[in-house]
Structure 1
Amino acid sequence: MAISSGLLILVVVLVLLAIGIPIGITLIIASIFAIIQSLGFSAAIPSSSLKMFQGINVFTLLAIPFFILAGNIMNKGGIALRLINLATAITGRVPGSLAHTNVVANMLFGSVSGSGTAAVSAMGSTMGPIQKRKGYDEDFSSAINIATAPTGFLIPPSTALITYGLASGGTSIAALFLAGIIPGILWGVACMIVAYFYARKKGYVETEKVTFKEFINVFLKSVPSLFLIVIVVAGIVMGVFTATEGAAVAVMYSLLLATVFYRSLSLKDLYEVLVSSAKLSAIIMFLIGASNILAWVMSFTGIPEMLAESVLGISQNTILIFLVLNILILLVGTFMDLTPAILIFTPILLPVSLELGMDPVQFGIMLTLALSIGTITPPVGNVLFTGLKISDRKIEKVMPHLFKFYLAIIIVLLIITYMPWFSNALPRLAGY
């Protein structure tokens, strides 16, 4: 049953995606076909409707629309410029300082907004013109912005990690938030190393010096924005509130910050933020519901167990099997968006990783990191194509620069895969 159902699902998904059917609808149709094959036509609609409702009838899921709303408020409220100023002050006069500023700003804003596309848009439209005026290669500037925008998927608060926590059957979100900090920073640092050597080769040296007084002034102006991360992450980790309650706190804090403290969000802006947040939340919730149907079908037909046995049968060498898993996840990420990929492949691949001795927290970071790379690779990469559109550059010109960053990021992925300390150190220090 597992083989026939798996092949049916795969064929239906590939055919529907090839003709342009949206991923959510594709998952529902493929699941219904598999249910009909296994249980008959009469069970297809009631079963799929019930499982879709059960998939979104989870209290913790409220954290996702709240974090989306908080991120959009921060984005529309002019937070990006303040974070860029702080990043500029931090990077100082290091060769390629504007490129490093772009990296640090993406890490800060990505974590605040929780969106790779929001980060690449905000930083691309702001940092791109500045780097151009300073004589930076525009294709390189676009590449560094694209390569580091997804760091926010790892650095908390992260909706991707919340999604994984639910898909994995209840992995602690607080532990995942802590586990994502070091890998997210490693991603940014790896790209900064590449940018440093490129900047030295091209002679990108900043002559203006930031004084200590200027640094303190910029830092103080940025503290209210950065404090959002501290409040939410510390509150969840310390058990003051749940992830959902933390997300609601993030909305209230960002709203007060944008309307009262910075006074940069008008009523018209707020209306636009509410509408765009509602649309994006509806899309994600629909994907979660659709993915839950598919996850149930796969569990019922025994597909995860079959795949686990197949992967484990490749070799007795754990190093080789983890390498195969990484390659598989990277391939999936190139043609599937982050959220549905996490929802679909977590129940399939998590049992394999557990069998090999990897704990759920480390696997969640490895999975999220590998799938995040897919957001900056063709043919689907939404962060990649958003970044190209913002910078008005051609993909064939930017890709040679991106390949250098891909290599650095994949090295980080291998470190996370084979060295558990980098993802487990902070959760264990906090008692998880």
Structure 2
Amino acid sequence: MSLTHPFTLALAAILGLSLLGVPVGHAMIAGSVLYLYLKGMDMGLAAEQLLNGTYNSFLLLAIPLFILAATIMSTGSVLDRLLRFCNAIVGRFPGGLAQVNVLQSIVFASMSGSALADAAGSGKLMQEMMTRDGKYTKSFAAALTAVSAVIGPILPPSIPLVLYALVSGSSIGYLFIAGVLPGLLMGAVQMGLIYVQSRRLNFPVEAPVPARELPRITREALPALMLPVILLGCLYSGITTPTEAAGLAAAYALLVSAVLYRSVGWHDLYASLVTSARVSISIGMLIAGAMVFNYVITSENIPATISAVLKGMELSPLVFLLLVNVLLLVLGAFLEGSTIILVILPVLLPTATALGVDPVHFGVVAVLNIMIGLVTPPYGLLLFMMSKIAEVSLGELVRQVMPFLGVMIGALALVTLWPDFVLFLPRLAGYTG
């Protein structure tokens, strides 16, 4: 493909605009319009693809509703109640607050579809708690906050898995339940490493919560803890569609925060609505840009070409997945996860299907890679974010992250090599893929 080919120029325009600070979604729309113009095609096709991709998908409505539920649940006293619950469960073990940091990421998975949002919200609070009174160094606390934040988007309800369902046509319900065991595995390997490090480095242990206090703490946190249970129960019982379940989650979050906990007022609700709208619009523009650019990619027959080339190499499904792991880990260090799911995965999916890779397994492996990429040196987005929040150097942060990165890649290898581990729960729920 020559340097003056319309597709090459479109890619150059997208890259150039992105480097100039233009949002990626807008850059993809601009690059796609340039491609249509240079090819002599009707530029109105860009608007047509945008409208068809966004307004014809009822599933997309689930994204702003999940975001609204997460925003409401992150307001008021919900965070405090859940953190007290996490501390009561694991604070007494070696590496007390460090263990709490990981557990809160698992618990808050139902309230944050974004690793970046998790790190900036409850993760930032944990960063302050861990460094108070010099219990942990800033660099270790920041590194742990970064790596634990990647757990949330793997567990349901997961916005990355909603986006994957959009581009793959897979069942969002089966994808959600398929992410449960890998997400818990990721948390388990992190907590295991903390236990080992705490024995060697004498991490502090929190004062045990008296047994008589556990029922009260659990009772106070139970309404918030029930959100993912209710969500998955409605999905797998067939009572609701994924989008209706997202609406139910938002309504339940409002009920718990405003009525049961009485921690959300009209001002807080307004702020939650505004925040959710801003995040939803940002994701929506990215989806719109990806829809238009995917039309360009399809017009160039790129997915079919790549699929033919890879099939000609006679790769086994395992080798293909290993290559995908490497590619997505590298891309995840440079690009926002939604961009990879919406632009890169549609190119790889035809090959995965042709090789007999299960689409649900492929989706979970892809999301795991993308999340780990966020803490992969030297350009992982979470590393830069936590370096700024914690005011520590990137070098110090990377040194603390490396052991966690090693155990997470080990968990990724297990998930990649053992599809039945991912598909066990979906098959119990009736999945036949």
Do both proteins adopt the same fold according to a TM-score greater than 0.5, normalized to the shorter chain?
yes
Aligned equivalents of 1:17, 1:122: Cα separation in 2: 26
Number of equivalences:
428
State the AA in 2 paired with 1:160: P
Is 1:422 the equivalent of 2:428?
Answer: no
Are the structure 2 counterparts of residues 355 and 108 from structure 1 closer, same or farther at C-alpha, using a change threshold of 3 Å? same
Aligned equivalents of 1:308, 1:83: Cα separation in 2: 47
How much does 1:276 deviate?
A: 1.1
Q: Check the 8 A contact 2:190/2:408 in 1, yes or no.
A: yes
Q: Check the 8 A contact 1:2/1:301 in 2, yes or no.
A: no
Correspondences of 1:30-429 after superposition (within 5 Å): 30-38=31-39, 40-41=40-41, 43-44=42-43, 46-57=44-55, 58-132=57-131, 133=133, 135-168=135-168, 170-206=169-205, 208-314=207-313, 316-377=315-376, 381-429=380-428
Are the structure 2 counterparts of residues 54 and 378 from structure 1 closer, same or farther at C-alpha, using a change threshold of 3 Å? farther
How much does 1:379 deviate?
A: 6.3
How much does 1:317 deviate?
A: 4.2
Are the structure 2 counterparts of residues 256 and 406 from structure 1 closer, same or farther at C-alpha, using a change threshold of 3 Å? same
Under a length normalisation based on structure 1, what TM-score does the superposition of the two structures give?
Answer: 0.93
How much does 1:384 deviate?
A: 3.2
State the AA in 2 paired with 1:35: L
Are the structure 2 counterparts of residues 6 and 374 from structure 1 closer, same or farther at C-alpha, using a change threshold of 3 Å? farther
- 64-73 or 133-142, which deviates more: 133-142
How much does 1:25 deviate?
A: 1.5
How much does 1:347 deviate?
A: 1.1
Aligned equivalents of 2:228, 2:62: Cα separation in 1: 15
How much does 1:82 deviate?
A: 1.6
Q: Check the 8 A contact 1:68/1:277 in 2, yes or no.
A: yes
Supply the RMSD in Å over aligned alpha carbons: 2.1
State the AA in 2 paired with 1:30: G
Aligned equivalents of 1:256, 1:51: Cα separation in 2: 38
Aligned equivalents of 2:401, 2:17: Cα separation in 1: 30
How much does 1:376 deviate?
A: 2.8
Q: Check the 8 A contact 1:81/1:126 in 2, yes or no.
A: no
Are the structure 2 counterparts of residues 289 and 93 from structure 1 closer, same or farther at C-alpha, using a change threshold of 3 Å? same
Aligned equivalents of 1:88, 1:134: Cα separation in 2: 18
Q: Counterpart in 1 of 2:11?
A: 10
Aligned equivalents of 2:385, 2:245: Cα separation in 1: 29
Aligned equivalents of 1:12, 1:73: Cα separation in 2: 38
State the AA in 2 paired with 1:138: K
Q: Check the 8 A contact 2:182/2:422 in 1, yes or no.
A: yes
Partner deviation per Cα, 1:282-307 (whole Å, 9 max, x = no partner): 11111111101111221222101112
Q: Check the 8 A contact 1:312/1:321 in 2, yes or no.
A: no
Aligned equivalents of 1:316, 1:124: Cα separation in 2: 41
Gaps of at least 5 residues in structure 1 are none
Aligned equivalents of 2:174, 2:377: Cα separation in 1: 32
| Percent of residue pairs bearing the same amino acid type | 35
Q: Check the 8 A contact 1:337/1:380 in 2, yes or no.
A: no
State the AA in 1 paired with 2:315: Q
Are the structure 2 counterparts of residues 312 and 211 from structure 1 closer, same or farther at C-alpha, using a change threshold of 3 Å? farther
Q: Check the 8 A contact 1:154/1:368 in 2, yes or no.
A: yes
Partner deviation per Cα, 1:149-191 (whole Å, 9 max, x = no partner): 12111100111111110111x2100000000001111111111
Q: Check the 8 A contact 2:106/2:187 in 1, yes or no.
A: yes
Aligned equivalents of 1:36, 1:122: Cα separation in 2: 43
Aligned equivalents of 2:351, 2:269: Cα separation in 1: 45
Q: Check the 8 A contact 1:93/1:205 in 2, yes or no.
A: no
Aligned equivalents of 2:306, 2:199: Cα separation in 1: 47
Under a length normalisation based on structure 2, what TM-score does the superposition of the two structures give?
Answer: 0.93
